[in-house]
Amino acid sequence: MESTERAAEIGQFLASRRAKITPDQVGLPVYDAAKRRVPGLRRQEVATLAGLSVDYYTQIERGKVTGVSESVLDAIARALNLDDAERSHLFDLHRAITTGAQRSRPRRTKTIRPMVQRLCDNYLGPAFVRNARHDLVCGNQLAYAFYSPLYPDPLHPDPAKPVNFVRFCFLDPRAHEFYPDWDLMADGAVNLLRTDAGRDPYDRSISGLVGELSTRSEEFRVRWAKHNVRLHYTGTKTFHHPVVGDITIGYETMPLPADPGLVLTLYSSEPGSPSADAMTLLANWAATNLGNTTAVDTAGQQRVDPSS
């Protein structure tokens, strides 16, 4: 993405955050609400809260950020009540314009180190690695079983042909069944992708994916235009797997510092829960149908599948 496009994006991002904040949320009086032409704060109000002149803030929102200091960005972030993800995204956009991210970005990892694959294989629950484009680039057998609906042939998922989580969410009708709360998952997928796009604005594989999805999916296009971002480290998700039914599962995600752009995700179900029982069934299904001779019981112990 060219610097002029990135400059436009920083302005769009700031305007979108400004529109989400009302004067009363930041302690500003509203004397005549009927005459307000904007849903959130005016530029003048943001400038006042940040201790800037309105002309200076206006130039920043127009993308003219060369020479803008981090202290000024901090002041704007505080004025707009930005959360950690939004603040980081603002700094990423600024850095892309002012430091030549195209020249200084870290080299993306193209191959999976054997150690990373072993980490996945030795984990008893689903474990997988995605890249910044949100392709599933490696995983253990249980992860491929868990995400078998994403593959054209669920019984023969091909790790050599990575599937893309965001493309599946928006372009595959099966996603609405796999994700019981599809809207929540769709919001999260777009917000995470925009966060990763902000970290590496010159990654053509990401911009190509965004262009494809914007062209083919109205649902994606509307969400992308909101400029929402998020950090994604821990929580729970609910799925409806076509083999074992509903599964509610906890997750932890960890960026791999030695492999820029790669993120490891581990899933774990609550011991003794219906979801743990479902994971046991899925592990046995994987052992039978995906060629793995081991399964995992609800206590987290490996055992030999008696059908093998």
169-212 pLDDT per residue, tens: 999 999 999 999 999 999 999 999 999 999 888 888 999 999 99
3-state secondary structure of 112: coil
Under 8 Å between Cβ of 283 and 304: no
Average pLDDT over residues 248-276: 95
Order of strands, sheet of 136-139, starting from the edge strand that comes earlier in the sequence: 136-139, 127-130, 263-268, 245-255, 234-241
Domain boundaries of the chain, sorted by first residue: 3-104, 114-304
- Is residue 101 pLDDT above 60, yes or no? no
Task: Give me 57's structure tokens.
Answer: 């803030």
DSSP result, 12-51: HHHHHHHHH--GGGGT---S-GGG--SSS--HHHHHHHHT
| Residue 121 banded pLDDT, cuts 50, 70, 90 | very high
Output the pLDDT for position 33. 56
23-58 pLDDT per residue, tens: 888 877 766 655 667 778 989 999 999 999 999 999
- Is residue 227 pLDDT above 50, yes or no? yes
Under 8 Å between Cβ of 57 and 51: no
Output the pLDDT for position 32. 60
- Is residue 154 pLDDT above 90, yes or no? no
* CATH number, span 114-304: 3.30.450.180
Residue 43: which residues within 8 A CB-CB, separation 6 or more? Answer: 18, 54, 57, 58, 61
The CB density around residue 153, as the number of other CB atoms within 10 Å, is 8
- Is residue 308 pLDDT above 60, yes or no? no
* Yes or no: domain 3-104 corresponds to CATH 3.40.50.1100: no
pTM for the whole thing? 0.85
CA nearest neighbour of 227 among 196, 174, 191, 272? 191
Alpha-carbon distance of 196 to 208, in angstroms, equals: 14
Average pLDDT over residues 87-106: 75
Output the pLDDT for position 107. 52
